[in-house]
Structure 1
Amino acid sequence: MNDWLASLKTETPQKGFELAIELARKGVAYTQPSADIRKKLRPKYAKNADSLIMTSQVIAIHFQTVAAANNYWK
């Protein structure tokens, strides 16, 4: 994959949350580089409440990282 992440700094918390979602998506793509396999697996987890909750948890962890980088907690 090419370099795509220049910084964790964002202009707003909303942009930070969107970056957290992108980090989660990129993490999946790095873990499973085959788009065909990801497409085949999606129906299995898209309707699974536990999978969706885990997805939210991963995004939340990424958002904590972005928030720390941007000093959102001050």
Structure 2
Amino acid sequence: MDTTLVPGNSLITATPEEGRQLAVKMARLVIKATQQDEAVRDKLRDVYANDASMLLQVGQVVATEFATIAAANNYWRK
């Protein structure tokens, strides 16, 4: 599988909201690249959707991605 992990090959976004959306997308792409079998991902979705600890870990991955994007955007300073 050839997955593009940085959509558009750029972390630059116009707004923090766009940055957050990019962070979520990138986190999802990491999961897709890690577990390439769609049927397995679908089966596991119910497992992590009902586990508070796993959901918190997902949030941490998105937060880490967002921190990287925010830094690349110089925290949206003008």
Do both proteins adopt the same fold according to a TM-score greater than 0.5, normalized to the shorter chain?
A: yes
Q: Which residue in 2 is equivalent to 1:12?
A: 15
CA distance in 2, matches of 1:61, 1:73: 17
Q: Which runs of 4+ in 1 moved over 6 A?
A: none
1:38 equivalent to 2:41? Answer: yes
Matched, 1:58 2:65: no
In 1, distance between residues paired with 2:22 and 2:43? 25
Q: Could you tell me the percent identity over the aligned residues?
A: 43
Q: Gaps spanning 5+ residues in structure 1: where?
A: none
Note the residue ranges of structure 2 that are not aligned, 5 or more in a row: none
Cα root mean square deviation, aligned: 1.4
* Offset, 1:5: 3.4
Give, in angstroms, the shift of residue 2 of structure 1.
4.8
Aligned residues: 74
Q: Using a 3 Å threshold, how does the CA distance of structure 1 residues 43 and 51 change in structure 2: closer, same or farther?
A: same
SS at 1:5 equivalent: helix
CA distance in 2, matches of 1:2, 1:30: 6
Offset, 1:6? 2.0
